[in-house]
Structure 1
Amino acid sequence: MSRLYLLVEGQTEEAFVNELLVPYYASQGLYLIPIIVSTSSGHKGGIVSYAKIKPQIEKLCKQDTGAHVSTLFDLYALPADFPGKALDGYPSSGSGHQKAEFLEAALAQEVNQRTFIPNLMVHEFEALLFVRVEAFAEWTDDDRVLGPLVAVSMTTAPEDINDSPQTAPSKRILAAVPGYQKTVHGPLIACDIGLDAMRRACPHFAAWLGKIEQLLS
């Protein structure tokens, strides 16, 4: 069985991996182990600075040379010191996919480990939930509040929903469904939507799945 350590941004991503990705890939012979990033002594979750997570990536790559390592970090609100963000070639006016690919390449070069597979979520985990916003209906007493989410999902692909502090996927969800609890509802809704639907609607996410699936060959 192949092993893949996933350094994830927080509890939501950890639950998403454990509840959806782990059982899906375990049956195929790929064992995923999510690990939440440490931000300081005794605290976990969130990408405060790249300087804090670089040693964690390197440690994972070196402690189990028979395994691979990847990441589940949000493109949204990445710190300024993340590899590639300060380079002249960074496509600041490009699409989320273009930004993520550029930063992933810079991260791969920075880490420089054969077993490392960089990955950024475009623009954040909640984009996956826009694949089928009707899945939120179970968590609200009035389906009409989902109107804004339905509207944007009809005109914009999930990974193209922009990343401003007001209109990022998670901000839109909280505006429509104030009771949304990221760590509780997010993974459950993701499981309801299913990995196949996410793969069809989210090409950047699908490309990453394709990369880790190559470990099965």
Structure 2
Amino acid sequence: MARVYLFAEGQTEQTFADTSIKPQLAQYGVFMHNPILIAHAKKKGKVHRGGGRNYAPMKNDIMGFMKQEKAPDVFFTTMIDLYALHPDFPGLAESESLRQDPIQRVEFLEKRFAEDIGDARFIPYLQLHEYEAYLFSDPTCFKYLDTGRTKEIKVLQSIANEYQTPEFINDGLQTAPSKRIITQFPDCGKAKSVFGSQLAEQIGLQVIRSKCCHFNKWLSRLESLNGEGISS
């Protein structure tokens, strides 16, 4: 059985990975350890986790686990937002020329990420553009918060209809998926880590996969890991 360590940017991704992705992978004989909040700093010998985007602590965190787990059938992956990546992320400046093609841009950055880590067991994943994009796969999920907010749900549905995929909803400071959601449902901003995974459960993993091709490609890759140990 293959094993996977997943490094999550925040508690929303951590919970979603634990409640939705972990059981999905188990069906394919892939065991995922409890998702880990990725490091964002190390001060006075203590590692601080979650909510940060500084690249060096993230890289050190991943490589530290790799040194402890050297088996060829143990893999490592990430759930990190493309939105607001720190300037020191590998290839970020170069990727600006690819901004008009989000898929090409994110795949370029993942390639650079993988090259910088330098271990074939590492499967980088950057979310286009952030976790909240998944919730635009079916905005009716927001009935879970308040069945009477039909006007607000229609606004979110209208936004979703403008894009080929929710993953293409842009990464502006006021127009990123999370910002658009908070405009209609302010409570989501106050309890993002709670509502984020619950709303995704209302939609269902298969619906999200059908609407979000980059997410689906990554998850399909993880599902294929059983029996795929890297040769030494």
CA offsets 1:121-177 (integer angstroms, 9 cap, x no match): 000001111000001112024221222201011121201100001010000000010
Structure 2 residue matching 1:56: 3-state secondary structure:
helix
Indicate yes or no: 2:23 matched with 1:31. no
Structure 2 partner of 1:138: 144
Alignment deviations for residues 77-126 of structure 1 (CA, whole Å, 9 cap, x no partner): 00000011133x65343222122101001011101101100110000001
Report the 3-state secondary structure (helix = DSSP H, G, I; strand = E; otherwise coil) of the residue aligned with 1:189. helix
Q: Partner of 2:66 in structure 1? A: 61
Q: Answer yes or no: is 1:22 the counterpart of 2:29.
A: no
Task: Please state whether the residue corresponding to 1:215 is helix, strand or coil.
Answer: coil
- Which runs of structure 2 are paired with 1:45-56 in the superposition (5 Å)? 45-56=50-61
The percentage of counterpart residues that share the same residue type is: 38
CA distance, structure 2, for counterparts of residue 48 and residue 18 of structure 1: 21
Candidates 153, 156, 160, aligned match of 1:149: 156
Which 10-residue stretch deviates more, 105-114 or 207-216? 207-216
Normalised to the residue count of structure 1, the TM-score between the two structures is 0.94
Give runs of aligned pairs for residues 7-18 of structure 1, distance below 5 A: 7-18=7-18
**In the alignment, does 2:175 pair up with 1:170?**
no
Q: Aligned partners of 1:160 and 1:27: how far apart in 2?
A: 30
Provide the aligned length of Structure 1 versus Structure 2: 216
1:68 alignment partner, SS class: strand
Q: What is the DSSP-based 3-state SS (H/G/I as helix, E as strand, rest coil) of the residue aligned with 2:61?
A: helix
The answer to whether structure 1 residue 191 and structure 2 residue 163 are counterparts is no
2:66 and 2:103 map into 1 onto residues whose CA distance is: 25
SS of equivalent residue, structure 1 residue 12: helix
Q: Name the counterpart of 2:166.
A: 158
Q: Contact 1:14/1:35 (CA < 8 Å) preserved in 2?
A: yes
* Alpha-carbon distance in structure 2 between the residues aligned to 1:59 and 1:27: 28
Give the gaps of 5 or more residues in structure 1.
none
Residue identity opposite 1:45 in structure 2: G
* CA offset digits 1:173-214 (Å, max 9, x no partner): 000101112111110111111111111111111110121122
Contact 1:3 1:31 in 2 (8 A): yes
Q: What is the alpha-carbon distance in structure 1 between the residues aligned to residue 177 and residue 77 of structure 2?
A: 23
Which deviates more, 164-173 or 204-213?
A: 204-213
1:13-65: CA deviation from partner (whole Å, max 9, x where unpaired): 01001111111222331111211012233632123310111101111222112
CA distance in 2, matches of 1:48, 1:160: 21
Work out the CA distance in 2 between the residues paired with 1:90 and 1:60: 31
Equivalent runs, 1:79-158 vs 2, <5 Å:
79-87=86-94, 90-140=96-146, 141-156=148-163, 157-158=165-166
Between the aligned partners of 1:110 and 1:142, the Cα distance in structure 2 is 46
